[in-house]
Amino acid sequence: MSTFDDTIPRVLSFYDQCPTAAENKYLMVGLNLMFLLASNRLSEFHMLLESVPQSIQSTNPYISTPVRLEQSLMEGAYNKGSTRAKSGYFRSDIAVSIEKSFKLLSTRDAANMLLFENDAQVQEFAKQRKWVNEHGCFVFETSATHHDKPTLDTARIAKQTIFYAKQLEMIV
């Protein structure tokens, strides 16, 4: 993948310099858009997308497919994105959100959110993530450790600031 990442700017530069040879330009742009999306490099995705004319974005299937997929991902509609939406990356992404958002979640709701067909699949996934299952619900431990705010020695800071001000006044 690093080779692709290194080569694609050269290919796109070639297409920009030789418009007559650009029959596969949008195929390569679309491929790069998918690569950037899969790598979660969304700022680069949008910068590249801005270089493509709006009319091409909506009519060219090589460009419109990554655009629709990105929109679905941003909406959180992972199941709309593609048939591969049920892959591990999306499930891991959803699972992290679930772990942070819920204290308690039913097995059925977890299966629905994680795009599983049945409870057995979600149980296996839960074992991999070490989720606790109690009475048909997953229990998520929230971080009980609250970080105490660091205390500032304001008297010391004030004395130091006054000292620095006096030193500056003497210099001037």
pLDDT in tens, 38-82: 888 889 999 999 988 898 888 888 898 888 888 877 776 655 545
Same domain, 103 and 61: no
Helix (H, G, I), strand (E, B) or coil at 129: helix
Question: Is the same domain home to 70 and 91?
Answer: no
Q: What is the pLDDT of residue 158?
A: 92
Backbone φ and ψ for 82, nearest 5 degrees, come out as -170, 170
Least Cα distance to 120 among 131, 128, 111, 132 occurs for: 111
Same domain for 94 and 167, yes or no, is: yes
Residues 90 and 172 in one domain: yes
User: Among 75, 93, 109, where does a domain finish?
Assistant: 75
| Rounded CA separation 114/92 (Å) | 9
Question: Do 89 and 157 fall into the same domain?
Answer: yes
Shared-domain flag, residues 98 and 170: yes
Q: Number of folded domains in the chain?
A: 2
Domain end position, chosen among 24, 58, 75: 75
User: What pLDDT shows up at residue 145?
Assistant: 47
* Residue 139 backbone dihedrals phi, psi, to 5 degrees: -110, 125
Verify that 62 and 108 share a domain, yes or no: no
Whether residue 144 is predicted with pLDDT greater than 60 in this model: the reply is: no
Pairing of strands 137-139, 104-106: antiparallel
**Contact in structure between 89 and 115 (CB atoms under 8 Å):** no
Are 167 and 88 in the same domain?
A: yes
Domain with 35 in it: 2-75
State yes or no: pLDDT of 83 exceeds 50.
Answer: no
- Given a cut of 90, whether residue 118 has pLDDT beyond it is no
Q: What is the CATH number of the domain that holds 127?
A: 1.25.40.990
Domain boundary among 48, 75, 102: 75
Q: Give residue-wise pLDDT tens across range 19-34.
A: 776 778 888 889 999 9
Spatial separation of the C-alpha atoms in residues 123 and 55, rounded to whole Å: 46
Q: Which residue has the higher pLDDT, 88 or 46?
A: 46
The Cβ of residue 111 has, within 10 Å, a number of other Cβ atoms equal to: 19
| Tokens encoding 110 | 């977890």
Helix ranges (H only) for the chain are 2-17, 25-38, 42-50, 54-59, 61-75, 78-81, 88-101, 107-113, 119-129, 154-171
Residues 126 and 163 in one domain: yes
Same structural domain, 18 and 49: yes
Give pTM, 2 decimals.
Answer: 0.50
54 plus 104 within the same structural domain: no
